[in-house]
Chain A
Amino acid sequence: MTWGTDRVTVAYGSTTALQEVSVDLQPGQIAMVVGGDGAGKTTLCRTVVGLEEIAAGAVRRPPRTCFQPETSGVWADLTVLENLQFVAGGYQLPPEHSRARIGELLEVTGLASAADRLGRQLSGGMRQKLGVAMAVLSEPDLLVLDEPTTGLDPVSRLELWSFINRSAQEGRALLISTTYVDEAERGDVVVALDEGRVLASGSVKSIIDSMPGRLFAASESLGARSWHRGDGWRVWSPDGVDMPGATPAHPDLADVVIVAALLSETS
């Protein structure tokens, strides 16, 4: 069984928030949803967990699905341990089982030493880790995380990813949104969104291989199909013809998503 959406459309009044968006993931896989602010990432997360009314298409999700919204959902006035216990109580987990599970989660998240700290006293990284720990407590088959790493510094981000990867190794399917393309590259499946539409989707490799035309590197801008990357410029040639003053370059995920955005701008 795979989880995700089939050509799902969501509208708020006359505004189309998602247009025929499909995403497909298997147990143990990570799907990354990438796009800027307003691209439809949160709407897609909410749709997958069943919080949005869909105008067309279908959603496939297992009975045990958990969602962590962008604001981590941690109670500020409860301690780390109390937050976890409260959620365990809500799921009516058997006390012995929940004690063992909470102990294990505190250990693998590195939150054991902060177990008695109040939610409000946690750093951003700790709060996000606690949020994810609360979401995996009930051992869901599908876990949806909306921008879990936004605002985290590189060390906290890596620790959170280690925890996320562990969840995938345990056989859970994860759908995670991000605004950063380098982070999206961690997914088995990537969906790049812009204004509610899919710019590109598939594995990183298949997305890169599917880029139409060719990519070149240049030392200066060569017009509207050029963009700045690192220490120089990238230029896209739609028909694949050589560009004078530019050398062929291998595109990465960010380049291909930019090409898709340029194509969607002109269409």
Chain B
Amino acid sequence: MTGIEATNLSKRFGDVVAVESLSFGVAPGEVVGLLGANGAGKTTTMRMILGLLSPTEGLVRIGDRPVREVDRRVMGYVPQGLGLYGDLTVAENLEFAAQAYGVTPPSLEELGLASFADRRVSQLSLGLRRRVAFVVARSHDPSVLILDEPTSGVGPLGRARLWETIHETAENGAAVLVSTHHMDEAEECHRVVLMVSGRAVMSGTVTEVVERFTTVSLSSQVDEEHVGRLRQAGATVLVAHPGWRIVGLSAADVSRILGSSAGVSESPSSFEEAFVALST
């Protein structure tokens, strides 16, 4: 069985540290989400895992071998741009990829895509294009699958169907790494690794990660002067609908700064608020 193991990965571009001392693994059968704001180092990490970029320090292993020595055919990758040929039909895209990998193309009938076989990829809806890209990435039966925001732009039912296929691939033994920054996608992963400024700061199920944080809710009005004082104390003050949300301070701190506890309460953080709490 072949999993992904990143040990002590660092990548520097000149003076810029993109990734620092990052270690994490994806076991066969596991779907792991890589989460982080733009610039947190997700893309650099994915490129090192794909073997496209050499780490400054550290090592990526696929199974028991360094990624550089591994046959590329163990890997499947769906980039955000999907990597399909828009001018070719669905069948031609599959045929082309299959020949490149030296395998037989998968049956479109079995995949429920037979009626689209002769349609040009550029004429398909985004949901269908995503399905085709996924079929192409999986056609050579890779044991490592890397997906960049795999269900972005797809409606709820289409998204659920794509995730079924992703989990099915994992259950058949693939190690799946998903890069995303949406709650809808993160909650489909067995585990998430959170990156902030090139480092992994937390790992667990998305619920576990979010549950570690609370946000102060404020139902009463606040004037600009008090907002300024909350910000000075290190809080992120957000306008809610209705009321306010204050990240980074306890209810007691907020009450003290406002000189009153009227309308102040603590509630679980949202996915985005947990990110803010981690990033500041």
Contact = CB atoms under 8 A, between A and B. Distances in A.
Interface string A25-42: 000001000111111000
Contacts of B241: 30, 165, 168-169, 186, 188
A36 B127 CA distance: 8
Interface in B100-133: 125-127
A250 to B, nearest CB: 15
Interface stretch (A85-93, A136-144, A253-261): A253-261
Given A36-B153, A38-B125, A227-B164, A153 B271 contact: no
Interface in A217-231: 221, 227-231
B165 to A, nearest CB: 9
Interface stretch (A16-24, A52-60, A74-82, A156-164): A156-164
A158 B125 CA distance: 29
Given A154-B37, A227-B164, A36 B184 contact: no
Contacts of A168: 241
Interface in A146-174: 150, 153-159, 161-163, 165-166, 168-169
A103 to B, nearest CB: 13
A181 interface: yes
B184 A181 contact: yes
Interface residue tally on A, bucketed by range: 35 or more
B262 interface: no
B131 to A, nearest CB: 12
B154 interface: yes
Contacts of A156: 37-38
B37 A155 contact: yes
B273 interface: yes
B1 interface: no
Nearest to B159: A36
B279 interface: yes
B215 to A, nearest CB: 11
Contact of A36 (B154, B164, B238): B154
A264 B36 CA distance: 36
A37 B205 contact: no
Given A158-B272, A162-B238, A179-B152, A262 B184 contact: no
Interface residues of B, number: 39
Contacts of A163: 239
Contacts of B157: 194, 227, 257-258, 261-262, 265
Interface string B217-260: 00000000000000000000011111000000000000000000
Contact of A180 (B36, B163, B184, B240): B184
Nearest to B157: A261
A231 B206 CA distance: 11
B239 A165 contact: yes
Contacts of A159: 238
A208 to B, nearest CB: 14
A40 to B, nearest CB: 11
Interface string A239-264: 00000000000000010011001100
B276 A155 contact: yes
Contacts of B14: none
A124 interface: yes
Given A36-B126, A36-B127, A258-B160, A166 B239 contact: yes
B184 A155 contact: no
Interface string A116-143: 0000000111000000000000000000
Contacts of A257: 156-157
Nearest to A108: B239
Contacts of A169: 239, 241-242
A146 to B, nearest CB: 13
Given A154-B181, A155-B37, A257-B157, 7 more contacts: A36-B159, A154-B271, A179-B153, A228-B160, A228-B188, A229-B187, A231-B190
22 contacts: A34-B156, A36-B153, A37-B126, A38-B127, A123-B38, A150-B153, A154-B275, A155-B37, A155-B279, A156-B38, A158-B273, A158-B276, A162-B240, A169-B241, A180-B184, A182-B182, A182-B183, A227-B164, A228-B164, A229-B160, A254-B156, A265-B157
